Amino acid sequence: MSEEKRKPTPEEKAKAAAEAREKLEAARKAKEEQAAQASAPEAVASSPEQNAVKAEAEPASADQLAQAKAEAAAKAKAAAAAAAAAKAKAAREAAEGGATDTKAAETEAGGADADAKAKAAAAAKAKAAAAAAAAAKAKAAREAAEAGATETEAGGADADAKAKAAAAAKAKAAAAAAAAAKAKAAREAADGGAAETEAGGDDADAKAKAAAAAKAKAAAAAAAAAKAKAAREAGEGGAAGAEAGGDDADAKAKAIAAAKAKAAAAAAAKAKAAGGDAADTEAAPKAPSKNQPHLDHIVKLITEKFGSEVIEASYINELAKEVPTLVIKNENWHDVAKFLKENDELSFDYLSNLHGVDYEDRMEVYYHFYSYKNRQNLAVKVKTDREQPTVASVMNIWSGANWNERETYDLLGIYFPGHSELRRIMLPEEWVGHPLRKDYVPFDEEV
Amino acid sequence: MSMNLDMISLNSEFSEGTGLRTEEMLLNVGPQHPSTHGVFRLVVKIDGETIKESLPVIGYLHRGTEKLAEGLNYTQIIPYTDRMDYLSAMTNNYVICHAVETMMGIQIPERADFLRVIVMEMNRIASHLVWWGTYLLDIGAMSPFLFAFRDREMILELFNELCGARLTYNYMRIGGVKWDAPPGWIEKVKEFVKHLKKEIENYHALVTGNEIFINRLQGIGKFDAKTAIDYSLSGVMLRSTGVKWDLRKDEPYSVYNRFEFDVPTATEGDCLARYQLRMAEIEQSLRILEQALGQFPEEGEIMGKVPKVIRPPQGETFVRIESPRGEIGCYIASNGKDKPWRMKFRRPSFNNLQILPKLLKGENISNMVAILGSIDIVLGEVDA
Amino acid sequence: MTDLLQQSTSLWNVSMFIVAAVVLLLVVLFFVTYAIYFERKVIGWMQLRTGPNRVGPLGLLQTVVDVTKLLLKEDTRPKDADKALYALAPVLAYAPAFAVLAVMPFSETIQFADLGIGVLYYMALSSITVLGVITAGWASNNKYSLIGGMRSAAQMISYEVPLVMSVLGVILMTGSMNLREIVEAQRDIWNVIPQILGFCVFIVAAQAELNRTPFDLPEAESELVAGYHVEYSGFRFAMFMLAEYVYMFGMGSLVTILFLGGWLAPFGLDFLPIPGIVWFILKFLLYVFFQFWIRATMPRFRADQLLPFAWKGLLPIALVNILITAVVISFQNGTL
């Protein structure tokens, strides 16, 4: 998510471009070498399926893979940024790049050079995996792709080429899903495109060009669906690919062509099982958190006891390591808190953190609980009015709340009725105001 | 600092039997006192030497870190965290970086992750050494303090070489670390690990078996697991009651899941158990260090790809990690800008200190310092 | 020198007494100065430090400078302190510490007064010091010093009992309370061997009497800041400091005399032309070193375990020692 917002620095771009070029070189060499060894390709070709299987088997690792991909994407973007001037173009290029690779891969798989096969294999695997993991979410697909890439490497082509191939596979899936797929997918696609472009090597240009127009449109559409940011990233990715792809001046042209090729391949998911992936991806753009069942359970228990109106909201906080988060109605908070601790199935016996936040239109008190029995985290937020901020004290439920509530009172002025000695704790008794409130003005400016 | 002492009332009674009038008195321990380890004040009501009631007064070192943080961008906040738990600044550095990285999904290069773990564990050892020395000083033994500081000095020298600071490191950055290990540094750390392994034996020989020492601590400041959890205690305070809970193990962050180490626990829940646990933790940290140094990547980036201006997405996060004193957490509420809307640190010392009045009730004054010392507070962190 | 006591009073012998006292005082001051230096050096080495090394060669003048500083400091007194008692306390603490030295036979010839009840005299006088400590704690009008004073009183009174009891074994063996005779009785074997039990009790109790680690509770700096002398500074503080080290001097002498054979040469080294005083000083320094060694090693006792240790630990051992000694002596005399 964070990558969306960031713009690569010139240095990063330059660096990325340089890297891309190096990779391209390497890819070429690898191809030459592999061409010499006619026998190698077969082995490579066989591995993709295994990868796919693995990918399915280990959905747990999906996150890691996804992250790895995200990084790759980030780099690609940086590189692309060099070509930054034409963002829109870049987006298209990315799409094209992906397409090109796909084609190239397949073509080569037909038997020409080793790299091509490797890529093709990867792509094939990716698709197969995706298809197999039809139900599996976009992540699974991505993993499959990566797995394929990994094995491809094992097969012998150079690392870059493989990575790209894998990326390309993903990219296709993503592209297919394009509309639904978020920024990430777009990014990956871009990366993949770039990678493939490079991998595709010399012949990529020609093919890409040929494949061109139709795909470009598809890509553009996808980009449109994705956010503006995503588009930018994709563009960057494409650009990166373009640079890598071409020492020659027409890098962009090639990139565009490649991108189109990919997009076409993706869109025309017909080729291979990729179509299945795409469908799945669209259906479920994001995997539900592993904590979702816990959250559901907690919500269910509370609802059974107090009715549904005490929970103002419940969600998984993706930003905080997927902690289940509840927003509890202020009036019912003390009862719910007691329930959270005393219910056997919940038994949130440990109060890890308690503090307040001033949101200018309201105040919130944030609690972080942990259950040593169930080894489960829970965050609870209680909203309160800003003029007369009041939240029931939970000191008699968790003794550890004592000083934390005093601190919150001291710094934010939230009252905790039920607290046995709600005095200032950090600041002297005669202090005027509550410093962490957003409208706080020091009583004595000189101090 | 003025404070309301109405909470404590003094009794004076006339004993029929002896004809003596006895009077309870208030004793102000601190804010300047050798055993409060900083500007911590404890008002105790004593009857003879027996503590009837106690009232901790904190805030003398309150610098408003959380308020200051609201006006600074994320990278600028890092040096402020050095000054909270100044004995373990590395873990403080880490917790804020980790919070921001969690929010933004930033990937840390492997080498940077290893460097982080190495410095955090070294810092944990340094922190425990300071605790060991000062605690024995509280107990009345003077030499361990100097032994501990000799070995801590080695760690500080290594840190100095790594990042140019001995106490307030400001070493980590969002996305990685600021400085790569200088040539030969890793070797020096390895040497140090070997050295300390030997020294730990000496420490045990000097102190751990001492009869006076054991008698002094056994059964003092005792509480059970239920109380510990109820009072939000963490770290050694919690583990001394038998709760096997270490965030490095149970909710692994960084690369801790790659290392084998034990989480020492005890069941007694007294000062002696806490002493033994901290000593055992030094040994476990050495184990982690050995493995981390062994697996240390030969080369690689030390900074991940990070946007030039760090703007975490809108939303909030709370992460917690294991500092030498317990569970240190960082909460960030972001509105998508480059400065946090609200930042809050869950400070282990602050939470651990809460139980003090309960532990002190009925103890005598010489146990007071033993109990306070065993909590291992750092006032910079208590007051933030 | 002891002859002077037998003579009729005259200007000459009175002035001789004064001169002798002043000489002893200077010797004691010299000892205190260098005991402190020695302590700081030894503990420094034990603690991986160098100790004082700045003032004078090897830091030898460090303590001189420190004492000079104390003497030149302003004489401060807490506002609501008991004026008279506050001034009296250091004197009360120091005077007996110096007075006990009068009966110490440092060698065959060097002794100021040869009292028949030397041991008793020492015990009796040294008990007065506790009054000085309590007075200081009370007069300072400070809670920490009051607690320190009370601790000190409880501790010193409690440990005096096993201290005296442990010496009884020696007295039984010698049949005399005269320190000179006690030394002479050790020609064959030092008391430390047959009276090993008594010796152990004596060493521990002496440590407590001296308020030194691990029994330094009255001035436990980590708890009571500085205990009974927390409000004292300058010259008055120097008096307390002096009293502490002079007591160490006294206790070292007493241990040497009672258990280590006084000025007698060890291991049958009588034939060497070494004066007795040298042997005395060596043994005495051994004890002083032992003090510092303990100080660098031990943590402090817990206040509530201190008194049980005296009454339930040391006292029974001392009593058993007396019993054993008595039985053995009776057996040897054929009365049993």
A349: chain B residues, CB-CB within 8 Å: 229-230
- Consecutive H or E run containing B22: strand B21-23
The reply to whether residue B232 touches residue A400, judged by beta carbons under 8 angstroms, is yes
Contact B4 A429 (CB under 8 A): yes
Mean pLDDT of C20-32: 83
Q: Are B329 and A427 a contacting pair at CB < 8 A?
A: no
Of A146-160, B83-97, C4-18, the range with the lowest mean pLDDT is A146-160
Give contacts of B 127-186 with C, CB under 8 A.
136-143, 146-147, 150
Task: Give pLDDT, residue C102.
Answer: 81
- Cα B159 to Cα B131: distance, rounded to the nearest angstrom: 19
Is A263 in contact with A99 (CB distance < 8 Å)?
yes
* Position B193 confidence tier, pLDDT thresholds 50, 70, 90: very high
C-alpha distances in angstroms, B70 versus B78, B342, C16, C22, C231?
Answer: 13, 6, 81, 72, 46
Interface of B with A in 39-58 (CB under 8 A): 58
Residue A152 has pLDDT above 60, yes or no: no
More confident call, A238 vs B28: B28
Average pLDDT over residues C195-214: 87
Cα separation, B351 vs A368, in Å, equals 14
Q: Does B102 touch chain C (CB under 8 A)?
A: no
Q: How much is the average pLDDT of A235-255? A: 42
Residue A75 is predicted with a pLDDT of 53
Average pLDDT, chain B: 87
- Per-window interface: B 342-371 vs C, CB < 8 A: 364-370
What average pLDDT does the structure give for chain A?
Answer: 60
Q: Look at residue A75 and give its three-state secondary structure.
A: helix
Nearest neighbour of C297 by CB, restricted to B48, B143, B150 = B143
CA distance B78 to C58: 46
Q: Who wins on pLDDT, B211 or B122?
A: B122
Cβ of A306 under 8 Å from any chain B Cβ? no
CA–CA separation, A375 and C44 (whole Å):
51
What pLDDT sits at residue B129?
92
In 3D space, the residue among A1, A98, C296 whose CA is nearest the CA of residue B140 turns out to be C296
Higher pLDDT, B85 or A268: B85
Predicted pLDDT at A221:
44
CA quadruple B159, B83, B81, B231: dihedral, nearest 10: 110
Nearest CB among C143, C296, C302 relative to B142 is that of C296
Q: How confident is the model at residue A30, as a pLDDT?
A: 57
Listed residue (B352, C188, C148, B104) closest to A320, CA to CA: B104
Q: Which residues of A touch B60 (CB under 8 A)?
A: none
- Distance of alpha carbon A340 from the chain centroid: 32
Query: What value does the mean pLDDT take over residues A278-302?
Result: 69
Contact B7 A421 (CB under 8 A): yes
C-beta of residue A195 within 8 angstroms of C-beta of residue A80: no
Nearest-CB residue to C299 (from B136, B146, B147): B136
> Per-residue confidence at C194, pLDDT binned at 50, 70, 90?
confident
pLDDT above 80: residue A275: no
What 8-state DSSP symbol labels residue A59?
A: G
- pLDDT tier at C307 (50, 70, 90 boundaries)? confident
Mean pLDDT of B199-211: 86
Does pLDDT of C249 surpass 50? yes
User: Nearest Cα to B166, choosing from B117, B210, B126?
Assistant: B126
Mean pLDDT of B100-115: 89
How far is A412 from A440, CA to CA, in rounded Å?
9
Euclidean distance between CA atoms C82 and C103, whole angstroms: 34
A41 vs B184 pLDDT, higher one: B184
SS3 B3: coil
Which subunits count as partners of chain B given 3+ CB pairs below 8 Å?
A: A, C
Q: How confident is the model at residue A120 (pLDDT cuts 50, 70, 90)?
A: very low
Chain B neighbours among A 63-122 (CB < 8 Å)?
A: 67-68, 70-71, 74-75, 78
Average pLDDT estimate for A357-370: 89
Q: Which residue has the tokens 């002496």?
A: C206
Give the C-alpha separation, A169 to A276, whole Å. Answer: 13
- Of A249-263, A426-440, B291-305, the range with the lowest mean pLDDT is A249-263
Residue B363 is predicted with a pLDDT of 86
Residue type, A290: K
Under 8 Å between Cβ of C101 and C250: yes
pLDDT one-digit tens code per residue, A4-30: 444 445 555 556 555 656 665 665 665
pLDDT tier at B123 (50, 70, 90 boundaries)?
Answer: very high
- Chain A: residue whose CA lies nearest to B3: A429
Give how far A113 is from chain B: nearest CA, Å.
32
Mean pLDDT of chain C: 84
Residue A296 has pLDDT above 80, yes or no: yes
Token code pair at residue B168: 């307030």
pLDDT value of residue C53: 85
What pLDDT score was predicted for residue B130?
Answer: 92
Is the pLDDT at A272 greater than 70, yes or no? no
List CB contacts (< 8 A) between A1 and chain B.
104-105, 313
What is the SS3 string spanning B338-383? CCCCEEEEECHHHHHHCCHHHHHCCCEHHHHHHHHHHHCCCHHHHH
pLDDT in tens, A384-412: 988 888 998 988 888 888 899 999 998 88
Task: Report the alpha-carbon distance of residue B354 to residue B121 in Å, rounded.
Answer: 27
Contacts of C226 in chain B (CB under 8 A): none
**Cα distance between residue C64 and residue C51, in whole Å:** 15
B with C: 3 or more CB pairs under 8 Å?
yes
State residue A344's pLDDT score: 83
- Tokens matching residue A8: 């690569």
**E-assigned strands of A268-373?**
311-317, 323-328, 350-358, 363-371
Tell me which chain B residues have a C-beta less than 8 angstroms from the C-beta of A407: 350
Residues A259-266: what's their mean pLDDT? Answer: 48
Q: What is the rounded average pLDDT of the residues A319-328?
A: 86
The band of B128, judged by pLDDT with boundaries at 50, 70 and 90, is: very high
**Region C12-17: what's the mean pLDDT?**
82
Interchain pair A3, B105: CB under 8 A: yes
Report the share of chain A in percent with pLDDT over 90: 2
Backbone torsions φ then ψ of B333, nearest 5 degrees: -105, 120
CA-based nearest residue in chain B for residue C296: B143
**Which among C222, C297, C303 has CB closest to B34?**
C222
Percent of chain C exceeding pLDDT 90 equals 2
**What's the pLDDT at A88?**
42
* Calpha distance A100→A211 (Å, rounded): 7
Q: Is A411 on the interface with B (CB under 8 A)?
A: yes
Interface contact A372-B59, CB threshold 8 A? no
Highest mean pLDDT among A179-193, B346-360, C96-110: B346-360
Q: Please tell me the predicted confidence (pLDDT) of residue A24.
A: 59
Distance from CA of B169 to the nearest CA of A (A): 26
Q: In the numeric block, which tokens belong to residue A264? A: 């076409």
Nearest CA among A122, A156, A147 for reference residue A34: A156
Alpha helices in A383-435 (DSSP H): 401-412
* Distances in whole angstroms, Cα of residue B87 to Cα of each of A421, B61, B212, B376, C282: 31, 15, 28, 11, 46
User: In the prediction, which pLDDT does B218 show?
Assistant: 86
Q: Which residues of B touch A5 (CB under 8 A)?
A: 307, 311, 313
Average pLDDT over residues A321-346: 87
Predicted confidence at residue A304, as pLDDT, reads: 87
**A156 neighbors A32 (Cβ within 8 angstroms):** no
HEC profile of chain C = CCHHHHCCCCHHHHHHHHHHHHHHHHHHHHHHHHHHHHHHHHHHHHCCCCCCCCCCHHHCCHHHHHHHHHHHCCCCCCCCCCHHHHHHHHHHHHHHHHHHHHHCCCCCCCCCCCCCCHHHHHHHHHHHHHHHHHHHHHHCCCHHHHHHHHHHHHHHHHHHHHHHHHHHHHHHHHCCCCHHHHHHCCCCCCCCCCCHHHHHHHHHHHHHHCCCCCCCHHHCHHHHCCHHHCCCCHHHHHHHHHHHHHHHHHHHHHHHHHCCCCCCCHHHHHHCCCCHHHHHHHHHHHHHHHHHHHHHHCCCCCHHHHHHHHHHHHHHHHHHHHHHHHHHHHHHHCCC
Q: Are A278 and A266 in contact (CB under 8 A)?
A: yes
Rounded percentage of chain B residues whose pLDDT exceeds 90: 17
Q: Considering the entire predicted model, what is its pTM? A: 0.72
- Among the ranges given (B155-159, B178-182, C40-44, C103-107), the one the predictor scored with the smallest mean pLDDT: C103-107
A1 → closest Cβ in B2, B70, B313: B313
| 3-state secondary structure labels for all residues of B160-202 | HHHHCCCCCCCCEECCEECCCCCCCHHHHHHHHHHHHHHHHHH
Q: Is the pLDDT of residue C336 over 70?
A: no
Measure the CA–CA gap between B250 and B26, rounded to whole angstroms: 44
pLDDT at A248 exceeding the cut of 50? no
Chain B interface disruption, residue of C207, C230, C291, C302, most B CBs within 10 A: C302
Query: Which pLDDT does position A12 carry in this prediction?
Result: 56
pLDDT score recorded for residue A360:
85
Q: Across the interface, do C214 and B136 touch by the CB < 8 Å criterion? A: no
Mean pLDDT, residues B194-203 taken together: 89
C-alpha distance from residue C217 to each of A141, B67, C223 (Å): 72, 44, 9
The model's confidence at residue A51, banded by pLDDT at 50, 70 and 90, is very low
Residue C221: pLDDT over 80: no
pLDDT for residue C213 is more than 70: yes
Counted across chains A and B, CB pairs separated by less than 8 A come out at 147
Tokens read off for B347: 């400070």
